[in-house]
A and B are shown apart, each in its own frame.
Chain A
Amino acid sequence: DTAVSQTPKYLVTQMGNDKSIKCEQNLGHDTMYWYKQDSKKFLKIMFSYNNKELIINETVPNRFSPKSPDKAHLNLHINSLELGDSAVYFCASSHDRGRQETQYFGPGTRLLVL
């Protein structure tokens, strides 16, 4: 069974469109995250979400909005896509918010904006 899953795996779209990436974890974790991996392989956290409390990385444009219908899901919605949004987006989850909590990552969604 996949612990953290993301859909779609690949997403190719036109500039200006709105798209969503879905993330689901079946680990019973309380905290979920979204990361962006750029073309240089650098991973940067975008959001963390715990018990309906959202922490936003201040460098993330407000075109990006996470939505959590329930504890097992944290979807990422992107409005007005730009060329610079092309990247691999990783969802992750952890049991709790403590420092010792390992984060488990999904397989990534490869987004290409044309």
Chain B
Amino acid sequence: AQSVTQPDIHITVSEGASLELRCNYSYGATPYLFWYVQSPGQGLQLLLKYFSGDTLVQGIKGFEAEFKRSQSSFNLRKPSVHWSDAAEYFCAVANPTNTGNQFYFGTGTSLTVIP
């Protein structure tokens, strides 16, 4: 069965520091992977996605993620965090069905940025 694990429930970083959020997936076929961000009181916004090709994916707001099949991981990174990056981050794997594309989300990682 497909699943997504985000091992870190909460991470705190200083503004300007680098960031890496971990995501591990379990999926039988080639995974289609996504990272979403949820700001407080807001909906989910797509940061980036991976379907195939280059394993290093660039997204919005300076984020990138690297797909590593051998490690079943799709970690999200940012070289320098801004205070506005404080939010909840969700990794997801897409599972195709006969009538739709169902997403399975991880439990999220809450990011706090300290000045």
Contact = CB atoms under 8 A, between A and B. Distances in A.
Interface of A: 4, 31, 33, 35, 40-45, 48-50, 53-55, 90, 92, 94, 97-108
Nearest to A55: B99
A102 B46 contact: yes
Given A90-B44, A100-B32, A105-B43, A41 B108 contact: yes
Interface string B71-90: 00000000000000000101
B100 interface: yes
Contacts of B97: 48, 55, 97
Interface residues of B, number: 27
Interface string B13-43: 0000000000000000000101010000011
B70 to A, nearest CB: 22
A44 B95 CA distance: 13
Contacts of B34: 102
B108 A42 contact: yes
A43 B89 CA distance: 12
A84 B101 CA distance: 27
B101 A31 contact: yes
Given A49-B100, A97-B97, A99-B94, 15 more contacts: A41-B88, A42-B107, A43-B105, A44-B105, A48-B102, A55-B97, A55-B100, A55-B102, A92-B44, A94-B100, A97-B101, A99-B32, A99-B51, A100-B51, A106-B43
A45 B97 CA distance: 13
Given A42-B105, A108-B43, A97 B99 contact: yes
Contact of A105 (B36, B49, B98): B36
Contacts of A41: 88, 90, 107-108, 110
B103 A104 contact: no
B115 interface: no
Contact of A48 (B44, B45, B88, B99): B99
B101 A98 contact: yes
